[in-house]
Amino acid sequence: MTVMVTATAPGEGSGDALLTLEELTQRAGITVRTLRFYTSRGLVPPPIRRGRSGFYSADHVARLELVQELQAHGFTLAAIEKYVAGIPADATPEDIALARTMLAPWQADLPVEMSHEQLEAKAGRSLSEEDIATLNALGVLRVRESGYLVASNQLAIGVRLIDLGFPRSVAVAAAQIYAAHGDQMAKELHDVVHRELAPLYDDVESDHFREVMERLKPLSVGGLVTAYEAAVARAARTPRRRTGG
88 three-state secondary structure: coil
**Residue 225 neighbours by CB distance under 10 Å:** 13
92 three-state secondary structure: coil
- Confidence at residue 52, expressed as pLDDT on a 0 to 100 scale: 86
Alpha-carbon distance of 12 to 20, in angstroms, equals 14
The residues, any chain, with a CB within 8 Å of residue 28's CB and separated by 6 or more, are 35, 61, 64, 65, 68
- Confidence at residue 147, expressed as pLDDT on a 0 to 100 scale: 86
Contact call for residues 159 and 124 (beta carbons, < 8 A): yes
- Confidence at residue 47, expressed as pLDDT on a 0 to 100 scale: 93
- Confidence at residue 1, expressed as pLDDT on a 0 to 100 scale: 32
- Confidence at residue 170, expressed as pLDDT on a 0 to 100 scale: 93
The residues, any chain, with a CB within 8 Å of residue 118's CB and separated by 6 or more, are 147
Rounded average pLDDT per 10-residue block, the chain, 245 residues: 35 63 88 91 91 90 88 80 81 79 62 89 94 91 83 88 94 85 80 88 79 75 74 75 54
Instruction: Name the β-bridge partners of 113.
Output: 149
Q: In terms of DSSP H, where are the helices of 152-237?
A: 152-163, 168-192, 207-237
Alpha-carbon distance of 11 to 9, in angstroms, equals 6
Q: What CATH number does domain 8-104 carry, 3.30.930.10, 1.10.1660.10, 3.40.50.720, 1.10.10.10?
A: 1.10.1660.10
User: In 3D, which of 190, 139, 179 has the Cα closest to residue 161?
Assistant: 139
The residues, any chain, with a CB within 8 Å of residue 37's CB and separated by 6 or more, are none
How do the domains of the chain map onto residue ranges? 8-104, 168-237
- Confidence at residue 183, expressed as pLDDT on a 0 to 100 scale: 75
Contact call for residues 142 and 98 (beta carbons, < 8 A): yes
- Confidence at residue 95, expressed as pLDDT on a 0 to 100 scale: 78
